[in-house]
Amino acid sequence: MIDYIKGKLASLNPAEAVVETAGGVGYSLQISLATFSKLEGKSEVKLLVHETIREDAWTLYGFIDESEREVFRQLIGVSGVGASTARMILSALSAEELSVVISTSDIKRLKSVKGVGAKTAERIIVDLRDKIKAPDTTLIIQSPATSEAFDEALAALTMLGFTAAQSRKVLKKLFDEDPTLKVETAIRKALPLM
Q: Which tens digits make up the pLDDT trace of 124-150?
A: 999 998 887 655 443 433 333 335 788
176-186 average pLDDT score: 87
Res. 101: pLDDT tops 50:
yes
Give the relative orientation of helices 118-128 and 95-103 as an angle to the nearest 10 degrees: 90
- For residue 23, the model assigns a pLDDT of 85
20 and 35 in a common domain? yes
Q: Does this model's pTM top 0.85? A: no
91 and 57 in a common domain? no
- Our count of domains for the chain comes to 3
33-38 average pLDDT score: 90
Q: What is the CATH number of the domain that holds 160?
A: 1.10.8.10
Res. 9: pLDDT tops 50:
yes
Res. 14: pLDDT tops 50:
yes
- For residue 119, the model assigns a pLDDT of 93
Res. 165: pLDDT tops 90:
no
109 and 72 in a common domain? yes
Segment 48-65, tens digit of pLDDT: 999 998 889 899 999 999
Instruction: Report yes or no on 92 lying in a domain.
Output: yes
41 and 72 in a common domain? no
Instruction: Report yes or no on 135 lying in a domain.
Output: no
Instruction: Report yes or no on 140 lying in a domain.
Output: no
SS (H, E, C) the chain: CCCEEEEEEEEEECCEEEEECCCCCEEEEECCHHHHHHHCCCCEEEEEEEEEECCCCEEEEEECCHHHHHHHHHHHCCCCCCHHHHHHHHHHCCHHHHHHHHHCCCHHHHHCCCCCCHHHHHHHHHHHCCCCCCCCCCCCCCCCCCHHHHHHHHHHHHHCCCCHHHHHHHHHHHHHHCCCCCHHHHHHHHHHHC
Q: What is the CATH number of the domain that holds 90?
A: 1.10.150.20
73 and 48 in a common domain? no
Segment 107-125, tens digit of pLDDT: 998 988 888 899 999 999 9
Domain interval for residue 170: 147-193
In the chain, the amino acid numbered 133 is K
Res. 17: pLDDT tops 70:
yes
- For residue 147, the model assigns a pLDDT of 54
Res. 67: pLDDT tops 50:
yes
Instruction: Report yes or no on 184 lying in a domain.
Output: yes
110 and 75 in a common domain? yes
